[in-house]
Structure 1
Amino acid sequence: MKISLNKTIFSLFYILIFVSAIGRIQYSATSVSYWIALYRTSIYLIELIGVGYTLYKHVLLFKRNIAAFLGFMVLYELAITFLRYRSLGTTLFNEIVIDLLGWPLVFIFTYQFVKDIGILKAFKGITVCGVSIIIIITAFNISNMGRIGINPAVGGVGYCVAVLPLVYLYFPKKFQKIITFIVLVIVLLSTKRSSFLALLIGIFTYYISDAIIQKTPRQKINKMLFVMFMAIVAAIAGIYMLESSQLEIVKEFTSQDETLSGRTLLWERILTNYNSLSFSERFFGSGMHAVKWKFNPYGLGWYAHNSFIETLYDYGIVGMALLIIFIVMIIKKTIKMNLDKSRISPIISFTIPPMLLFASSSYFFEIGQIMIFYSFIWSFCVAVFDIGLIEQKIESGDVR
């Protein structure tokens, strides 16, 4: 059997995305150094593979598309970071490579890979294995919460939500609802409010999109009835949990914490400091992770817990505008996919609520980690839509 070098490279690229997740999840749970080394090495290899493939193929990436705009945004962020920091230590250099370059390069290279090579059958097996490992180790870490690590749920739960679109793309239909239920249970036990909301709204968005793209009125009605049924069940379950459940996540939702676990106080402090910066810093930014490295609120090395505030402080008004334009481009492309009734539209539609929720209340665009998966899914969906590949692959059974 002849082995295609390009397909092998793309498969390795995809495998490393899952390996990076495993490394990051286990480091969050154990703080053992070799797990963070695995995470960083995986991201480095992903970037090297992408760059190597691009140079090998002599591909001109910067054409008129989302990948091109993202490339411009990264160049701007790099330029501001190098201008604002007088010296780059090892830690900051790693953060530049992993957090600043990581997810944008995954988007750019995935787009190019898919346009050149298409959808690979090997991705089915890789996805099944990778998703299964992520869910198993996250469930194990949560079951041992309090005995290992400080908060082992943090990393794994975000990854469980992030991989669900890949479950809907590659898993057999009879397993999709089972995996969704398992992830829902994991998120409930984790006490992560934003992840719970992101998951619920993402699932509903997925099924609403799935109803929109149906070809006949009967199919649309059946799908919408299913969505309404899910909404009723979720409402009944929610009322029951609010009234009688002892789950910690329910206590989190019903608490009278107007500061969102201290987030609003942190945001106020960061914005107050931002307003005291020079015009140049406010307009162009102070460089990557400046909230943590330069302002350092409370002296704890925290990020802003809000990607928009973090971007405003780090990259100024210009950087904020570029980020908003990128988000609008992704949402606009998602709407177009739904209007064109593309079979890939439910996959990318799922990601929009988590993107907006996590970006507004947690770390998202400013660090790698789960952004690697969202970036891959966005780029994958955009590429297969742009080249009209998804319909024929669904017919052949390469994707579900």
Structure 2
Amino acid sequence: MRLKDIISLIYIFVFIAVIAEMRFTLTDVYAWRILYHASILAINALCTIYLFLKRFNYLNSFVLLLFSIIIYPIIISVIQGLFIFPMIMVDVVTWPLLFVVFLDYSMTNDLPVSFKWITKYGMALICLLSIPNIVLQYSTVKGSAIFTTYFCLTFLPMLYLVNTRRQAAIFSFLVGGLMLFSSKRAGYIVVLLGVGVYYTLLIYVRSGARGRLKQLRKLLITFIFVILLLFVVVEIFDLNILKRLFSIIEDGGSGRIKIWNLIFERYRSSSAVDKIFGHGFHAVFYRIAPFGISRYAHNSFLETLYDYGVIGLMLIVMFTVRITSITVKMVMQKHPLAPAMGYSLVPLYVFSLVSYFFEQSMLILPLSVFWGICLGKYFAKKNDKLSTFHGVWIPTCLVNIFYFWKKNKKGE
């Protein structure tokens, strides 16, 4: 099997996994859940096959960080008795592995032509399937079904990358409408900020100093028109998106601040060892269950701090800082990928701070593919060759961490 075919199959399975999860949250038919897990495991298997075929035996600092994000949570979860299969493979292993594979492939290869139509038609199908999920909220409470509409948002950067800007703009407008009717505050913020960041950076990258001001004026007028249109639609359909947006300050509608306070208090009362190394995979969901409901922290950084301790949080913060710093470099260099990368930072920060991102692979999968492609092209253009050392010391360091953990645990 050619590497190009493997890459295309992986990308198709990402869409299949997303669609299966959307259907499961809507219908509760467990066959969709099985298809979701099977698709994720297929992605992991194909990524592993790719790495073996490439004889992938080298690391740079970024790839090392991604593998650490895989290995460390698995070890801590085994120690803490929270190695839950297949969920740990789904939520811990898949997204960093996707990132590594697409990073490696894009450094030396162009994307297959099929990516354009896979992205376009896959995105159209996801938007279409979001409609019944949104309609469901008007008849009953089913938060997970509405949550999956966020998939529309996380695939948008891929549209700006591989399809025409016109098609991406049309889908952005469509997704904005879906978020409006879903009343998802974070989703609507991501659409508005993401599109704004993209076109602002596009003007900066492509326009000269003289024409930049004129383009920015046009962009501002367009945004004013969109906001006015938003008020008209809200008034006509009696939507509550604006009330929910204004209630964010008072924590209205979600109780996030209460959940954050509860989890932070539980973290403060933990042992010193657990504070450093963590409580294990999805410990907030399985061990705390805030206010009697099995749910996550609604903040990826706080979730990571409790689940994987200070060390796990450092890994995620390092990843976030690295992605951000590379994007800033692209902007300063007026790199053609800078606008799309800037867009991708919006869901990264918004969902990490007020929703789920790193702890659940659902939203981060499309962005992992996107980031891998962009960084691969960026590093290739810079001629930034990866250092060729085998990294045998990684398990050695993790064994030392395990020894230190056990030693301190016995001392308590």
- Paired position in structure 1 for 2:215: 223
Residues 287, 170 of structure 1: alpha-carbon distance in 2 compared, 3 angstrom cutoff = same
Alignment of 1:320 with 2:313, yes or no, is yes
Equivalent of 1:83 in 62, 75, 79: 79
How many angstroms apart in 1 are the aligned matches of 2:361 and 2:144?
18
How do 1:61-210 residues align onto structure 2 when only pairs under 5 Å count? 61-64=58-61, 66-85=62-81, 88=83, 92-146=84-138, 150-151=142-143, 153-210=145-202
Matched-pair contact (CA < 8 Å) for 2:234–2:240:
no
- Superposition TM-score, scaled by structure 1 size: 0.89
Contact 2:103–2:376 (CA under 8 A) maintained in structure 1: yes
Q: 2:17 aligns with which of 17, 20, 32?
A: 20
Distance 1:370 1:222 in 2: 36
Deviation digits for residues 259-313 of structure 1 (CA, Å, limit 9, x no counterpart): 3421111111111111111000011111111111222222321111110110110
**Counterparts of 2:145 and 2:243, CA distance in 1:** 17
Q: Distance between the aligned counterparts of 2:212 and 2:246, measured in 1?
A: 36
For structure 1, which segment, 155-164 or 182-191, has the greater mean C-alpha deviation from structure 2 after superposition? 155-164
Kindly state the Cα deviation for residue 374 of structure 1 after the two structures are TM-superposed: 1.4
After superposition, the C-alpha distances for 1:7-39 in whole angstroms (9 at most, x for unaligned) are 111110111111111011111111111111111
1:313-343 Cα deviation digits (max 9, x unpaired): 0111111111111100000011111111111
Q: Give the aligned partner of residue 373 of structure 2.
A: 380
Give the conservation status (yes or no) of the 8 Å contact 1:292–1:303.
yes
* Paired residues for 1:294-333 under 5 Å: 294-333=287-326
* Whole-angstrom CA distance in 2 between matches of 1:115 and 1:21: 26
Once the two structures are TM-superposed, the CA of residue 221 in structure 1 deviates from its matched residue by 3.3
Distance 1:120 1:54 in 2: 18
Partner residue in 2 for 1:51: 48
Pairing of 1:201-350 with structure 2 (within 5 A): 201-214=193-206, 216-237=208-229, 246-255=238-247, 258-260=250-252, 261-350=254-343
- Work out the CA distance in 2 between the residues paired with 1:236 and 1:353: 23
Equivalenced residue count is: 381
Corresponding residue SS for 1:60: coil
Query: Is the contact between residue 288 and residue 315 of structure 1 (CA under 8 Å) also seen in structure 2?
Result: yes
Distance 1:370 1:49 in 2: 20
Query: How big is the alpha-carbon RMSD for the aligned residues of Structure 1 and Structure 2?
Result: 2.2
Cα–Cα, structure 1 residues 332 and 146, in superposed 2: closer, same or farther, change >3 Å? Answer: same
Letter in 2 for 1:249: I
SS at match of 2:57: coil
Structure 2 counterpart of 1:97, one-letter code: M
Identity of aligned residues (%): 29
Cα deviation, residue 239, structure 1? 5.9
CA contact (8 A) 2:300 2:355 kept: yes
User: 1:221–1:233: structure 2 CA closer, same or farther, 3 Å change rule?
Assistant: same
Instruction: Provide the rounded CA distance (Å) in 1 between the counterparts of 2:214 and 2:9.
Output: 40
3-state SS of the aligned residue for 1:247? coil
Question: What secondary structure does 1:16 align onto?
Answer: helix
Deviation at 1:146, TM superposition (A): 4.3
Q: Deviations over 1:221-248 (max 9, x none)?
A: 3432232223322444466678887212
User: In structure 2, how many angstroms separate the alpha carbons of the residues matched to 1:134 and 1:244?
Assistant: 26
Secondary structure at the counterpart of residue 381 of structure 2: coil
CA contact (8 A) 1:29 1:148 kept: no
CA–CA distance in structure 1, aligned partners of residues 64 and 193 of structure 2: 30
Q: Are the counterparts in 1 of residues 234 and 241 from structure 2 also a CA contact under 8 Å?
A: no
Unmatched tracts of structure 1, length 5 or more: 390-400
Q: Secondary structure at the match of 2:370?
A: helix
Q: In 2, are the aligned partners of 1:30 and 1:152 still within 8 Å (CA)?
A: no
The residue aligned with 1:10 is: 7
CA distance in structure 2 between the partners assigned to 1:289 and 1:151 by the alignment:
19
SS at match of 2:340: helix
Q: 2:39 aligns with which of 42, 46, 49?
A: 42
Cα gap change, 1:256/1:313 in structure 2, threshold over 3 Å: closer, same or farther? closer
Structure 2 gaps, min length 5? 383-412
Q: TM-score, normalised by structure 2?
A: 0.86
Counterpart of 1:348 in 2: which secondary structure?
helix
Distance verdict in 2 for CA 1:333–1:381, change over 3 Å: same
